Amino acid sequence: MSAWPVTSKATSIMIVDDHHVLTDALATIFRSQPDLHMHMVGMAETCAAAREQLLRTCPDVLLLDVLLPDGDGLSMVPEFNRMCPNTHILVLTALADEKTLMRAAETGVNGFIIKTQPLSEVIAAIRQAAEGEIALPASLLLGLLARTAHLRAKSITPSRDPLTPREREILTHLARGRSSQDIAAALNITPMTVRTHIRNLLERLGVHSRLEAVSYALSRGLIEPPV
């Protein structure tokens, strides 16, 4: 692993991908543009190498490819969440299909970065993930909502609602793609209060990310799909 400059305020990032052009380009960008306040703490090309490096680094954000030489990156997400519960995982992939999206949402990732997205959107997604926000292109989020609503319609009985009315209200805002700041303004409460409610509802639902919480709640009829 190469050494990169580290600042106390920077977001630490690790990339798991076997495409050297992409990983080297991102590493160079983070290193050459300190104003981004991001730094690379590791790169891995396989699931095995990722597991080893993650144990040492536990970065703020992990960019994880789906197709790796020794396995499926998504299958590693539950283990990575257990190893580093404070690491936010972004799926870094060219597979923007519905099946991959649903699998990723159900494993507890924070969102997606499509490899064809502009650099500005990649940086924005990393920043969103570092704050615990859902980092997902609007078109993909709409696809997820449509699919989970379809699954709910096919269910026989609704699940027991483990949420408080306020938690359900906040989760509905999350399903509309709103950030903590936006939700706080809409509900006239502080962003810290919003984050506390979100932390509580994640624990109640037994999920690891806001995206997983939205997917879980919609598919089980705990909240209504946004119109």
Report the phi/psi class of residue 189: left, alpha or beta, with left for phi > 0 and alpha for psi in -120 to 50.
Answer: beta
Taking the C-alpha atoms of residue 81 and residue 84, their distance in angstroms, rounded to an integer, is 5
Residue 35: the pLDDT is: 86
Across the range 109-115, mean pLDDT stands at: 88
Across the range 56-84, mean pLDDT stands at: 94
Side-by-side strand order, sheet with 38-44: 38-44, 11-16, 61-64, 88-93, 111-114
Instruction: Tell me the C-alpha to C-alpha distance, in Å, between residue 85 and each of 55, 58, 136, 138.
Output: 11, 9, 20, 26
Across the range 79-107, mean pLDDT stands at: 86
Q: Is the pTM of this model over 0.95?
A: no
Q: Which of the listed residues 87, 112, 140 is the one where a domain comes to its end?
A: 140
Q: Which of the listed residues 118, 140, 162 is the one where a domain comes to its end?
A: 140
Taking the C-alpha atoms of residue 172 and residue 178, their distance in angstroms, rounded to an integer, is 9
Taking the C-alpha atoms of residue 177 and residue 179, their distance in angstroms, rounded to an integer, is 7
Q: Are residues 90 and 177 in the same domain?
A: no
Asked if the structure places residue 39 within a domain, the reply is: yes
Asked if the structure places residue 162 within a domain, the reply is: yes
Residues 172-191 pLDDT 10s: 999 888 899 999 999 999 99
Q: Are residues 87 and 166 in the same domain?
A: no
Asked if the structure places residue 168 within a domain, the reply is: yes
- Which one, of 137, 84, 130, lies nearest residue 114 by Cα? 137
Q: Are residues 181 and 125 in the same domain?
A: no
How many structural domains compose the chain? Answer: 2
Asked if the structure places residue 87 within a domain, the reply is: yes
Q: Are residues 40 and 92 in the same domain?
A: yes
Residue 222: the pLDDT is: 85
| Higher pLDDT, residue 188 or 139 | 188
Across the range 136-155, mean pLDDT stands at: 63
Q: Are residues 22 and 100 in the same domain?
A: yes
Residue 156: the pLDDT is: 41
Confidence label for 159 from pLDDT (cuts 50, 70 and 90): low
Taking the C-alpha atoms of residue 214 and residue 110, their distance in angstroms, rounded to an integer, is 11
Residue 99: the pLDDT is: 78
Across the range 158-167, mean pLDDT stands at: 77
Residue 142: the pLDDT is: 65
Confidence label for 151 from pLDDT (cuts 50, 70 and 90): low
Residue 200: the pLDDT is: 94
Q: Are residues 136 and 186 in the same domain?
A: no
Residues 189-221 pLDDT 10s: 999 999 999 999 999 998 989 988 988 888 788
Instruction: Tell me the C-alpha to C-alpha distance, in Å, between residue 2 and each of 28, 33, 42.
Output: 11, 17, 7
Residue 175: the pLDDT is: 87
Supply the mean pLDDT for the chain. Answer: 85
Asked if the structure places residue 74 within a domain, the reply is: yes
- By CB atoms closer than 10 A (0-12, 13-18, 19+), residue 95 is middle
Residue 21: the pLDDT is: 83
Residue 100: the pLDDT is: 81
Q: Which of the listed residues 140, 169, 198 is the one where a domain comes to its end?
A: 140
Residues 3-53 pLDDT 10s: 444 445 689 999 999 988 888 888 888 888 888 899 999 999 999 999 999
Q: Are residues 121 and 160 in the same domain?
A: no
Containing structural domain, residue 170: 154-219
β-pairing, 88-93 with 111-114?
Answer: parallel
pLDDT at 62 over 90: yes
Taking the C-alpha atoms of residue 133 and residue 196, their distance in angstroms, rounded to an integer, is 13
